[in-house]
Structure 1
Amino acid sequence: MRSIVLALLAATALATSALAKDVTVAVTAIVEHPALDATRDGVKEALAEAGFKEGENLKFIYESAQGNAGTAAQIARQFIGDNPDVIVPISTPSAQAVVSATREIPVVFTAVSDPIGAQLVKDFEKPGGNVTGLSDMSPVADHVTLIKEILPEAKTIGFLYNSGEINSVSLLAALKEAAEKSGLSVVESTATRSADVQGAARALVGRADIIYVPTDNTIVSALEAAVAVAEENKIPLFTADTDSVNRGAIAALGFNYHDVGKQTGAVVARILNGEKPGDIPVKIAAGTDLVVNLVAAKKMGVELPQTLVDRATKVIK
């Protein structure tokens, strides 16, 4: 009994000592858009709930790379020089930049679809080293099922993505596999810059029955351009992230990214309280919301099944 009490007192002392000192958490994202912004805000909220509050005992730094991989690398180097207690890169490009820049400062990545494919870790259960985090690998098979439920006659999915984003390449492979099982084919159209998104969307007109936008930061950052093409040509546009439905997609089945941020922040708090990142398994984010947009569906010439609307987590009217 005495040993248990001593162990509890030691754990309490460790947590108290972590809260007693000022800590710095540096957060970066490849670009600013609603899903990534919500993730950042969720991280800060979870830290506050764990006792790390900005302005009291927490210095919270945030930098956006504004869609530029070179800038992401510069931010990573800047953060390494600042030597924060934990770095939180949001998105695959930012995570790759940070992980390649340090082997010492703890890193908790988030909103990364394929951490192994992106060479951030070698194993989910035992990441080792100074890196752990959360994957937001999309439930692609469920997305195909959703598409078939809304548009049973659809034959071709237009996949709009940046071929330079490793997460999107991984999602394309997963989509092709799921689509084939459902009797659908996939056609691709790429945009490497946000300025190219409208042209890439237009390239799908006449080739695809629907447009599908994965959790691709280049495309999502300029989603309105793709939505305009979809509305003009009456092509239903689906997204993988629910935050994009409010911006004009007709439906999405995916994570609430504020919740993803909170799950990430909880991991950061564990590290601030003394745990080693390499001992914390990489997790796939929990929770799946269904969001539908009745206004967008009407503009794209689609009537959503009432059974779908009735079970939606959120309905935009």
Structure 2
Amino acid sequence: MHLRKLMTGISLAGLLLLGGCSSKKADDNKAVKHVGVLQVVQHPSLDKAYKGFKKGLKEEGYVEGKNLKIDYQNAQNSQDNLKSMSDKLVKEKSDLILGIATPAAQSVANATQDIPVVVTAVTDLKAAKLVNSNAKPGRNVTGTTDMVSIKRQIDLLLSIVPKAKTIGIMYNAGEANSKIQADMATAVLKNAGVKVLIKTANTTNDVQQVTETLASKVQGIFVPTDNTFDSAASVVGKVVKEKKVPLVAGSTDQVKTGGLASIGIDYEALGEQTGKMAAKILAGKAKPADMPVEKAHDMRLVVNKKMAKALGIDPKSIKAPKN
């Protein structure tokens, strides 16, 4: 009897010990935050935004492999991939989902109205129907905008080619954020008394032909932040260099690869801002509905000196417009 009681006691103690371990393990698992990421396509600006996002989370105490698990998905500019990947991230019950660039942000937002969503590299969240307003989103979505001053970009281009009679604009008409910027640029140019010629490309395969056609008819080109043209920046750069046409881009990364100048943002810094916003949501300190959309903290002039010299322009002569 004593032996049986002793064995029963040991068994109960063992069960309690196992139960305690299971409970601790469950608590540990609960402490790990699951973040889904959907990026529309791979190119430098968006890659930097993702890198910055992870940096921002880490600075706020969320470290991959410790208390953070990230499921990264890249749609490679496929609408079918965007939908299936969004559904996957929602089905996995992510604690938060990041959408990088407008198409990815819209896809994720359409897939869930419950899971918190933050977005980055989106030009106009309200126009993209992601928020009720930039000041008070009112839904499960918030984030950062990569909108830059289009007027300053155009003023920069006109300061480089002050005698220009016609300025070209290239973008993918299928990207809502690009069309918004193109329309704004058109208005600024017309107000300055400059003729505008617009060409669009639906895929990267169309970019070379579009650039060659436009470059032969204009004295300068403006390209807004556009995923299609960013992805083919080197192709664009080769053409404008041969045609001797200055190109101002909305993206500083495109300038480094195939443009002349830009007053743009640092996408890694923008991603970092987004990561810190996400950290507040994960910590339960804020909700997307109440978090105003944030703009980049700083803008900077970037000049491609090699391109400038190839075009016969003194890099030092290129200055950022004051207004």
TM-score normalised by length of structure 2: 0.87
Offset of residue 257 of structure 1:
0.6
- Partner of residue 313, structure 2: 302
8 Å contact kept, 2:265–2:298: yes
Cα deviations across residues 255-284 of structure 1 (Å, max 9, x unaligned)? 111110011011101101112111111122
Query: In structure 1, which of residues 259, 262, 272 is the aligned counterpart of residue 272 of structure 2?
Result: 262
Structure-2 separation of matches of 1:117 and 1:215:
16
Offset of residue 244 of structure 1:
1.7
- Equivalences for residues 147-186 of structure 1 within 5 A: 147-186=157-196
- Partner of residue 85, structure 1: 95
8 Å contact kept, 2:236–2:258: no
Query: In structure 2, which of residues 301, 304, 320 is the aligned counterpart of residue 290 of structure 1?
Result: 301
Offset of residue 181 of structure 1:
2.7
- Partner of residue 272, structure 1: 282
Offset of residue 20 of structure 1:
7.9
- Partner of residue 229, structure 2: 219
8 Å contact kept, 2:157–2:247: no
Offset of residue 285 of structure 1:
2.2
Instruction: Assess, with a 3 A threshold, how the Cα gap between structure 1 residues 288 and 252 changes in structure 2: closer, same or farther.
Output: same
- Partner of residue 14, structure 1: none
8 Å contact kept, 1:150–1:304: no
Structure-1 separation of matches of 2:128 and 2:271:
20
Structure-2 separation of matches of 1:155 and 1:219:
24
Cα deviations across residues 24-54 of structure 1 (Å, max 9, x unaligned)? 1111211111110110000000100000001
Q: What's the secondary structure of 1:284's corresponding residue? A: coil
- Equivalences for residues 20-169 of structure 1 within 5 A: 21-169=31-179
Of residues 227-236 and 35-44 in structure 1, the stretch that sits farther from structure 2 once superposed is 227-236
Offset of residue 303 of structure 1:
3.0
Structure-2 separation of matches of 1:25 and 1:142:
36
- Partner of residue 230, structure 1: 240
Structure-2 separation of matches of 1:307 and 1:237:
13
Of residues 86-95 and 126-135 in structure 1, the stretch that sits farther from structure 2 once superposed is 126-135
Structure-2 separation of matches of 1:38 and 1:271:
22
Structure-2 separation of matches of 1:18 and 1:126:
34
Structure-2 separation of matches of 1:171 and 1:19:
44
Return the letter of the residue paired with 1:176. T
- Partner of residue 281, structure 1: 292
Offset of residue 239 of structure 1:
1.0
Query: In structure 1, which of residues 170, 183, 191 is the aligned counterpart of residue 201 of structure 2?
Result: 191
Return the letter of the residue paired with 1:291. V
Give the unaligned 5+ runs of structure 2: 1-26
Q: What's the Cα RMSD here?
A: 1.9
Cα deviations across residues 65-94 of structure 1 (Å, max 9, x unaligned)? 111122111111111111111101010011
Larger radius of gyration: 2
2:249 is the counterpart of 1:239: yes
Structure-1 separation of matches of 2:177 and 2:69:
30
Return the letter of the residue paired with 2:199. S
Q: What's the secondary structure of 1:146's corresponding residue? A: helix
Q: What's the secondary structure of 1:99's corresponding residue? A: helix
Structure-2 separation of matches of 1:60 and 1:300:
44
Structure-2 separation of matches of 1:221 and 1:306:
29
Structure-1 separation of matches of 2:313 and 2:78:
36
Offset of residue 209 of structure 1:
1.0
Return the letter of the residue paired with 1:288. M
Structure-2 separation of matches of 1:158 and 1:214:
11
Return the letter of the residue paired with 1:147. L
